[in-house]
Structure 1
Amino acid sequence: MTGLHLIQTYSSDSDEDEHDETRKDDHKIVNKLTLPASILSWKGVTSNEEVIDDPLDHDGRIRSFKHERGNWTTLIYINYAPSDCLYTWMKSVLNKLPVEGNIISNLHISLSRTLVLKFHWIESFVEGIKLACHSFNKFIIQLTDVRVYCNEERTRTFLGIYCQDEDKMLKCLTEIFDNLLAEYQLPSFYKDTSYHISFFWCLGDKQACLKEILSPLTSSLNKFLAENMEDAYVHVNDIQCKIGNKCYIFKLK
């Protein structure tokens, strides 16, 4: 019996030792698989954290798609910084509108939809944009009239200044980027493209009532541009791409 007891004791101790070693190994594996804080910070989402967007935190705006780990919100665009005079004109529009809304502070001309990019695609995707931009010359576009736009979900309506693309430079750029997007099976830009700078937004689909005042708004804009000719043109020297919270700038020739 004593021998049997010793065997049982040895067996029990051995199992516990193996279990302890397994837990230590598991702990090592977990530590090895934990992402560095720098990457988590750049991504903007800590590990194992579920992001729940509350529209009340974003002036009532609703995300077009759920935020998921490993997915990065991406947009290709032309950054636009208006003069103080033009920005003052934009703010003056608020007093003429039949709806309540907000002036947009960071202005741009979109060259892609808002996309969802996988983390492991980022390096090659950025390189693809870089190569495209290196072969493209700087160009100028003209601002013309005020138009109304609504997002696909009909949750927000925008007023934008239309960008005239006589030389088809914007169209050529979007076609190049569409070819790149196709390699990642991402959606191309809108077929009925209307390049513009959105400067005002409001909640809901307010196209009908805003369309009624487009004529006087355009007249006001044209008067302003006639008196400030330098504001009527946009010099495009680079293309930008925002992926997550990181912005890439690509200089044109």
Structure 2
Amino acid sequence: MSGLSYICDYGSSSEDSDAYLEDNSVKAKKLKLPTPNLGNVPVVGTEDHVDDPDLHKGRTRVFPHKRGDWASYVYIRYPEEENLATLMSRFMAECPVSDLHVCDDIHISLSRTVTLIYHLITPFTKSLKNVVDGIDSFDLGFESVKIYCNEEKSRTFVSLAVDHFSNKFLLKIVDKVDDILADYKLPTFYDNPSLHMSILWTTGDKKAELTSVLENLNNILYQEVEKCLKTITVDKVNCKIGNKFYQFALQ
């Protein structure tokens, strides 16, 4: 049977009279497709992300959450966090602010927090690896306590400023990272950055209150520095992009 015969035979006998026009040509018939069952298909919501500070000890985002944007920054991770417990405890007892919290993932930032879109993650991290490959490892030390407040005045930090020797090495890395950020048209680091490691934080602008006991905090640092802040060798640069972590070895 020819293909034309198959078309003519399709359908019930009651519809056969509709299958031909007056010139005996075939009339095309439209088939109604069944409605698909979407009951088991996951649906991605389009509602805006709502930030709840109560879930983060009062912290709020410094820029809005946006689907497809990956919050990213470059940093040096401090591997001896447990050794800071005594120092932080003494600082908290000395400070006139009651709601001080220990910082999560203690580190030294080498860039601002910027946003990357997904397809730029791989080339960005490759560029970072290439520039880090040529940098020597170095010893990291700290020399004083400093108080910082973020640009939004939403959080204040008790921090340890790196010493002069460490600062020179870290600035070399910052310059390399800035070059990459500029290539991607992303914000570079601050002018004349004060490189530091934040260890305690509180909500709001509490800089005046904490600065009032800065001399006492520095005295505690000098007493505890040998026990709590042993010199460590920095041989890796880290990068966090969304929920992804990258690590690049220095020479």
Task: Report if TM-score (shorter chain) is over 0.5.
Answer: yes
TM-score (norm 2): 0.81
Counterpart code for 2:18: L
Task: State which of 48, 51, 54 in structure 1 corresponds to 2:52.
Answer: 54
TM-score (norm 1): 0.81
Counterpart code for 1:132: V
Which runs of 5 or more residues in structure 2 are unaligned?
Answer: 1-13, 20-25
Question: Could you tell me how far 1:232 is from its partner in structure 2?
Answer: 4.3
Alignment correspondent of 1:42: none
Alignment correspondent of 1:81: 79
* Structure (1 or 2) with the larger CA radius of gyration: 2
Task: State which of 9, 18, 25 in structure 2 corresponds to 1:6.
Answer: 18
The runs of at least 4 aligned residues of structure 1 exceeding 4 Å deviation read: 10-13
Counterpart code for 1:149: Y
Structure 1 residues 148, 12: CA separation in 2 closer, same or farther (over 3 Å shift)? farther
What secondary structure is seen at the aligned counterpart in 2 of 1:166?
helix
Question: Could you tell me how far 1:67 is from its partner in structure 2?
Answer: 1.2
- 2:213 and 2:28 mapped to 1: Cα distance? 84
- 1:13 and 1:93 mapped to 2: Cα distance? 83
Question: Could you tell me how far 1:107 is from its partner in structure 2?
Answer: 0.4
Alignment correspondent of 1:200: 200
Which runs of 5 or more residues in structure 1 are unaligned?
Answer: 35-45
Q: Per residue, is there more helix in 1 or in 2?
A: 1
- 2:83 and 2:77 mapped to 1: Cα distance? 18
Question: Could you tell me how far 1:47 is from its partner in structure 2?
Answer: 3.9
Q: Percent identity at matched positions?
A: 34
Deviation by residue 1:129-159 (Cα, 9 ceiling, x = unmatched): 1101111110113211110001110000000
Question: Could you tell me how far 1:231 is from its partner in structure 2?
Answer: 2.2
Alignment correspondent of 1:115: 114
What secondary structure is seen at the aligned counterpart in 2 of 1:61?
coil
Question: Could you tell me how far 1:222 is from its partner in structure 2?
Answer: 0.9
- 2:178 and 2:237 mapped to 1: Cα distance? 15
Structure 1 residues 83, 102: CA separation in 2 closer, same or farther (over 3 Å shift)? closer
Alignment correspondent of 1:136: 135
